[in-house]
Structure 1
């Protein structure tokens, strides 16, 4: 997780130690690396905790020896040398307790980038230097008890803040831990346990019941139910049989399976997800840049206000001690601590939570912009519908050619296609136990179908649009249901028959469209399918409108049209033929990419093709943005109130904030921001 370039948080203080929360250095898919990462950060948390307790113990005698506290409780415990004991104890607090802040101050000066550590370091040094001068002869009252309580509260604030940061990054750690560290490699003579990161493509691994799958691959033998919920958000275990794909990190049910590995651990789906989450957590969004700017300004305001406050009080006749105290309090209150955390904590939490729910954020700005969406364009097949075309009828239009021959010739062409229609035809061929002939000179007719030479005949499988374009007449008795998609078979350019396929509407689609309506978001169906099918699906689901028989390159134009009418458009597609449209849309959402998450043009990838996930994404985008704005308000709001009080605006009414009270306010603001970020949830 990345914090500001401008404002250091406590996770960045010890630059020289290998403790910065940089997930990019970890070896994905290897647990020890993550353990080391966690260990480093834990060591820093423990260091702050230890410093806090040492300062806490020393603060009691410091307070009891302080003249002001004694005066306040009505005692006089001064004795010879008491001021030197006070000086000695306070020096330990300043150098030991204040060390992380002093070091951070030096680092910021070196980097010519003054920020929060600069402010804290400056404030405690002024307080300490002035108090030491009092002990050695300057007249006035020392600041030692304020110094001790200030450092104590600062250490507590940083300790709590770091625990929050660790919490926000925990989800990423959990993703890393999904990958088992060992796998059972199947050798010709035995099963051998090997480290997961040594597995290569085409290795065969055994996954026993209850174990995690160690690598992406295809089941070679056996069948089982696999729980992929941590990876895809799909709560029900999925049945997997021979030939099915499995994802690394999925938990095996009660069957034993052998898996042929499709790529090494570092290229696995899970590793890519971890890398994506990591990069998204580090990527700066518009809100982050706004927070950076605000924090930078707050640093400048702190220094100017602090010095201005000091000069005002000192030059209007107040004591040096009073003027110093006001300056220290103003500077402490202004520390843009909470502001430095406001957005990064929400970013870390939201990105990791999304990944757990099957929403992979590649572009933070696209995710934040999802709250502005006014229109969603849905690709039909596989998103609103199941995407499994099943052959509903085969009709021959030529004597001497039966239904089996129609589907046999069509299957030769579809063997090379991954389109859902092809899958449906091949499934039917398998059921009928028909042998598929080979095809040569295969050629795809963009958006219209495919053609090839099969058994020395030119065979084409085409859409109704192709027939229209080539003025091929459709027979009078041709009938197709509104929900059916029809492809025609041409043999040597003659219409020979047709195959009708239908695709079921997903049970979740209607609910998703209804939720969008409730949120005043229009839903539009965009499909290459015929108008009747599109109209039927659109009507059943209660969508706002539809666009049918749209070729891939035309999808881009349709999106542009909507944008020119002032709509903020999200496009959902499968990332292949929809790539241009996904790129031009305000928010591109690639759906159903399964284990291939390299849908380069989309800002967001949905692991499942579930339309409810699209709705969840928008609602979660809105919730995340609300959290960021709430945090920015908390982080800056207290400054607006506390800064004038610290500067002494209401001094004439007897209202004045002490440095310790300023530090308490600053810490409370930071803690509120951290807790608020941790309350973020994905509604499902």
Structure 2
């Protein structure tokens, strides 16, 4: 027996899915311009353009950039080995003599030139872009360093300037390390899916249009308003419309996020992408193309992602300051050394300053943390799609949870039981489970599961039958047992038990059990709150965060769950197209919002939030719209993201200080600030400090691997 034949779902009249069966239908008319002019938060979508990384074209094609930087890195690494080993300055630094081989003196210049022209291209083209946009940053700093190193090294090799200014080995290492940093960064930012593609995939490939007395297979795009289409059992609705014939239990979870199937019959609205689970329908099309609810949600996702402000990375800011710092130091050094020394010494000091300013460690400071963080997060069940979202999580002060499937299990569970006339509740549940055993309805499965969990003996039933919108009937131990809602009582001429009235007021579905025409008891079935939800809410409160819940369910259901969990604020009865508006409302109050959800209707809100967190068991669209994805459905994992965000930010800050600290100290020393006391930092010493800074940054990032990101550990760590 299929689930729709059971009919219990019709009596979830309190729930948003039953009352709000037009949910999402008017999104194309109401939601289209909702966010026009609204400046979105930093964190979602900010990676579409990457501060100062214009040289590699932003991040519109992460997959292409990953492949490009990976290939370029390995090629340049192969060229760097002979370049470094045959560089006269490197040989002097390590104290070995180059072999007396004809032409060996030209190996480093030739390969170094290839590395500059080929391997350095992403950086000097990026530098040109930063100059054009007047936003100096990492690319300009790297571009300046490799260009100065190349020009000085080539001039030294040609004998035009002092051989002490030959930096082929430094040029080679700089190109290789920077390419490695960018390869790591691109890989960590690579997108795994597309929200818009996922939305398109919800529509069926074909539709059956009624023409005369026959049906013709057409593409959904060929449908017009007022066409009548056939939706077969298990099939998806190809366009928004009104049921003109038949009735079916509709799975609308991909649109509403609500798990319970909702019965739709003649005169009811159905939405494109929803599934008729049990029987066929004929639907008169009322909206097609851009006017459908799916298209409206798609637009909201696009708008929310597009309106998000571009976050400027810490490393880019540091690089911008270091660029001006190095440039100012070089100019001052040039002026001072020209006054006190000869042009040759002046040139040597200026070139040394500009080359030492190259951000070896700075180029790895952020990418290494990002790479280790995303890898460690994945092992802990947290998939980081948007690094900027993870960075923003440490600043979140409000967590907005979708109710169904997030704070609750998203499936019905038996709650209260009451036996009439002294009927034991165990016997009542056993009889109800026997009658329901042959039904596939979600409420029936909940009753059978409850009896099994209590190890009750469930007798065999015969003569099973189901009546839509009424309930089920079966013969159990020679008696006729019926389980159903209000219509069942109406058929039997019975009144509901007074004890069941509070259950309905709290938003539960109330089912009555009748044996041989006598009401023997009632039970409540509702969406079960996850036990982990209480721990998650309590832990978030201890961190000083506000916890808000949003749901399409009616007020009684929402407030019952909120009161149980101690949630601070509730948005109830919210239509799908208005969830993003509620996120914006919180942001307008000055809140930094993390949204946790799992349904397609959550996608615009996930994209609008400062941090979008998708439950991994949710839909592809919600996952694609989020910056962070939880592989598990444990709401405590939100604490894991906070812990990860704080730890990653701490390491990024430490690494930036280490990396920038090297430049802050070495640049003035290279410029000769201590020359009056007889110390001018040799290039070799600068190279050692440069390498040491890079090693410290790498080792510091490795400490992130010790993080325990299990939900239990995160709760302990943060509270």
- The TM-score, its normalising length taken from structure 1, stands at 0.57
* Counterpart mapping for 1:132-531 below 5 A: 132-133=158-159, 143-145=162-164, 147=166, 150-153=167-170, 155-156=172-173, 289-292=313-316, 294-295=318-319, 298-299=322-323, 302-303=326-327, 305-306=329-330, 309-314=333-338, 316-392=339-415, 415=441, 424=446, 476-478=498-500, 486-488=508-510, 499-501=523-525, 505-526=529-550
Out of 624, 630, 633, the residue aligned to residue 606 of structure 1 is: 630
2:80 aligned with 1:48 = yes
2:123 aligned with 1:101 = no
Counterpart for residue 3 of structure 2? none
Counterpart for residue 230 of structure 2? none
**SS of equivalent to 1:593:** coil
For residues 174-217 of structure 1, give each alpha carbon's deviation from its aligned partner in whole angstroms, at most 9, with x where no partner exists: x9xxxxxxxxxxxxxxxxxxxxxxxxxxxxxxxxxxxxxxxxxx
2:673 aligned with 1:654 = no
Q: Distance in 1 between matches of 2:660 and 2:486?
A: 62
Q: Distance in 2 between matches of 1:62 and 1:159?
A: 20
Q: Distance in 2 between matches of 1:132 and 1:288?
A: 42
Give yes or no for contact 1:606–1:613 (8 Å, CA) kept in 2: yes
2:607 aligned with 1:590 = no
2:138 aligned with 1:121 = no
Counterpart for residue 615 of structure 1? 639
For residues 317-340 of structure 1, give each alpha carbon's deviation from its aligned partner in whole angstroms, at most 9, with x where no partner exists: 412221121011111122234333
Q: Distance in 1 between matches of 2:598 and 2:121?
A: 51
Give yes or no for contact 1:552–1:578 (8 Å, CA) kept in 2: no
Q: Distance in 2 between matches of 1:506 and 1:353?
A: 26
Deviation of 1:5 (Å):
8.2
Deviation of 1:609 (Å):
0.9
- The structure, 1 or 2, with the larger RCO (C-alpha pairs under 8 Å, 6+ apart) is 2
Counterpart for residue 677 of structure 1? 701
**SS of equivalent to 1:389:** strand
Give yes or no for contact 2:184–2:367 (8 Å, CA) kept in 1: no
For residues 388-428 of structure 1, give each alpha carbon's deviation from its aligned partner in whole angstroms, at most 9, with x where no partner exists: 5333467799xxxx99999999999984xxxx767626867
For residues 27-74 of structure 1, give each alpha carbon's deviation from its aligned partner in whole angstroms, at most 9, with x where no partner exists: 9xxxxxx9x9978754543443343334489724997899xxxxxxxx
Q: Distance in 2 between matches of 1:2 and 1:47?
A: 32
Give yes or no for contact 2:51–2:311 (8 Å, CA) kept in 1: no
Q: Distance in 1 between matches of 2:388 and 2:341?
A: 51
**SS of equivalent to 2:599:** coil
Q: Distance in 1 between matches of 2:500 and 2:511?
A: 14
Per the alignment, do residues 571 and 110 of structure 1 end up closer, same or farther by CA in structure 2, a change over 3 Å counting?
A: closer
| Runs of 5+ consecutive residues of structure 2 not aligned to the other structure | 1-46, 130-139, 193-307, 421-427, 453-457, 474-482, 488-494, 513-518, 710-719
Per the alignment, do residues 365 and 412 of structure 1 end up closer, same or farther by CA in structure 2, a change over 3 Å counting?
A: farther
Deviation of 1:591 (Å):
1.8
**SS of equivalent to 1:478:** helix
Counterpart for residue 493 of structure 1? none
Q: Distance in 2 between matches of 1:582 and 1:170?
A: 23
Counterpart for residue 196 of structure 1? none
Q: Distance in 1 between matches of 2:356 and 2:538?
A: 48
Per the alignment, do residues 289 and 564 of structure 1 end up closer, same or farther by CA in structure 2, a change over 3 Å counting?
A: closer
Give yes or no for contact 1:330–1:647 (8 Å, CA) kept in 2: yes
**SS of equivalent to 2:708:** coil
- The TM-score, its normalising length taken from structure 2, stands at 0.54
Per the alignment, do residues 600 and 39 of structure 1 end up closer, same or farther by CA in structure 2, a change over 3 Å counting?
A: closer
Q: Distance in 2 between matches of 1:26 and 1:423?
A: 49
Per the alignment, do residues 124 and 311 of structure 1 end up closer, same or farther by CA in structure 2, a change over 3 Å counting?
A: farther
Q: Distance in 1 between matches of 2:552 and 2:462?
A: 29
Per the alignment, do residues 46 and 515 of structure 1 end up closer, same or farther by CA in structure 2, a change over 3 Å counting?
A: farther
Q: Distance in 1 between matches of 2:409 and 2:661?
A: 49
| Runs of 5+ consecutive residues of structure 1 not aligned to the other structure | 28-33, 67-84, 135-141, 176-283, 441-450, 464-472, 491-495
Give yes or no for contact 2:357–2:667 (8 Å, CA) kept in 1: yes
Deviation of 1:476 (Å):
3.1
Q: Distance in 2 between matches of 1:125 and 1:37?
A: 24
Deviation of 1:605 (Å):
2.5
Aligned residues: 498
Per the alignment, do residues 503 and 4 of structure 1 end up closer, same or farther by CA in structure 2, a change over 3 Å counting?
A: closer
2:56 aligned with 1:24 = no
Q: Distance in 1 between matches of 2:618 and 2:125?
A: 48
**SS of equivalent to 2:547:** strand
Deviation of 1:613 (Å):
1.0
Greater Cα offset, 317-326 or 116-125: 116-125
Give yes or no for contact 1:367–1:621 (8 Å, CA) kept in 2: yes
Give yes or no for contact 1:49–1:159 (8 Å, CA) kept in 2: no
Q: Distance in 2 between matches of 1:563 and 1:288?
A: 20
**SS of equivalent to 2:500:** coil
Q: Distance in 1 between matches of 2:181 and 2:695?
A: 9
Deviation of 1:615 (Å):
0.8
**SS of equivalent to 2:673:** coil
Q: Distance in 2 between matches of 1:317 and 1:424?
A: 89
2:663 aligned with 1:631 = no
Per the alignment, do residues 641 and 25 of structure 1 end up closer, same or farther by CA in structure 2, a change over 3 Å counting?
A: closer
Give yes or no for contact 1:299–1:335 (8 Å, CA) kept in 2: no
